[in-house]
Amino acid sequence: MDAPRTLHSVREDAYNYTWDNSIDPALEIEPGEAVELRVRDASDEQITSSSGAEDVAKLDFDHVNPVSGPVFVKGAQPGDVLEVELLELRPREGWGWTALIPGFGLLADEFPEPWLRISRVEAERGRVAWSEEISLPYRPFPGTIGVAPDEPGQHSIVPPSRWGGNIDTKHVQAGTALYLPVGVEGALFSLGDTHAIQGDGEVCGTAIETAMDVTLRLSVRRDFQIDAPQYRLPEGALRAQQQTSYHVCTGVGSDLMEAARDAVRAAIRHLEERRGLDRQEAYALCSVAADLRIHEVVDAPNWVVGAFLPDDIFEKGAG
């Protein structure tokens, strides 16, 4: 993607904790122009590099996942498609955090106690240091990215919707074009919840959370219509990230969500038995490094989900 000729910046203090189409725009731009957003981390700075698990337990959930914006794109009308081209993501801090938050996550009932891991983000090396034995690739992306809904009033920032929002899709990274349906005049685009890396599923509820500066280009498309987010990956994007060997644990059952839970439980047990991790760390590592994939949903009455654990994150290789 071409570098922007003109770059507009959203004010650092322009962020919100809900989706609401009555919020005044922080910035107005012409279609095709580039924007830089200064994005706060998902905890809204409640978690610091010196925090402990006790700080996770004290999180104020009225101030999580702040989104920078909104940006008004001139000419965008309901029924149009907003094209979002991710150009660059730059971490502002050399660290990120991953937490087990009581009551949150795929296995929330099995992990009632708070837990926190502070990781070192080494963007210049393309790595994230999880521990002395585990090093993760640096693959930044925004977890929350969307436009204002057409329904009036305040809407929670936490669940995704047809307008985007907290979609936590790791493939929406630099080089990707994301397409969002426009619900209101100007689209009112916002972005937040930036991650240094995450596995497909984000099973414990958090990734490597860290603040970033994000540069992107916003354009209006009228040559097609969509009802929910779509995105397009550049050639070779997946191949470049899948060059290692994997250990895959599966879950099989008549309930797709329970099959996903069983796959994660099996991956946790594998990390405990073969890698020596304690159960909380294993669960959190699955959230930032393991990919959930649906293998089949046609052979009734049971479906199959796989949890892919990459070998190259471990200093000792395959396990």
Boundary (domain end) residue, out of 232, 257, 289: 232
* Shared-domain flag, residues 84 and 205: yes
Instruction: Calculate mean pLDDT across residues 209-220.
Output: 98
The reply to whether 319 falls in a domain is no
pLDDT for residue 237: 87
Instruction: Calculate mean pLDDT across residues 184-198.
Output: 98
Flag whether pLDDT at 2 surpasses 70.
no
The reply to whether 1 falls in a domain is no
* Shared-domain flag, residues 193 and 250: no
| Three-class DSSP category at 82 | strand
pLDDT for residue 318: 59
pLDDT for residue 243: 80
The strand pairing partners of 67, in sequence order, are: 16, 192
pLDDT tens readout for residues 52-61:
999 999 999 9
CATH number of the domain where residue 21 is located: 2.60.120.580
* Shared-domain flag, residues 160 and 220: yes
* Shared-domain flag, residues 78 and 161: yes
At 7, the pLDDT band (50, 70, 90 cuts) reads confident
Instruction: Calculate mean pLDDT across residues 68-82.
Output: 98
pLDDT for residue 30: 97
At 257, the pLDDT band (50, 70, 90 cuts) reads very high
Flag whether pLDDT at 67 surpasses 70.
yes
Phi, psi of 132 (to 5 degrees): -65, -25
Contact 280, 111 (CB under 8 A): yes
* Shared-domain flag, residues 160 and 261: no
Distance CA(175)–CA(89), nearest Å, equals: 11
* Shared-domain flag, residues 141 and 202: yes
At 178, the pLDDT band (50, 70, 90 cuts) reads very high
Determine what percent of the chain is predicted with pLDDT higher than 70: 97
* Shared-domain flag, residues 226 and 248: no
The strand pairing partners of 122, in sequence order, are: 127
pLDDT for residue 84: 98
pLDDT for residue 3: 52
Flag whether pLDDT at 5 surpasses 80.
no
Per DSSP, helices labelled H in the chain are 53-57, 237-241, 256-275, 279-289
Flag whether pLDDT at 316 surpasses 90.
no
Flag whether pLDDT at 317 surpasses 60.
no
Boundary (domain end) residue, out of 199, 232, 265: 232
Which residue bears the tokens 């994150």? 313
Instruction: Calculate mean pLDDT across residues 238-259.
Output: 93
Q: Which residue type sits at 179?
A: Y
Contact 291, 136 (CB under 8 A): no
Instruction: Calculate mean pLDDT across residues 130-153.
Output: 97
Domain containing 188: what range? Answer: 7-232
Flag whether pLDDT at 4 surpasses 70.
no
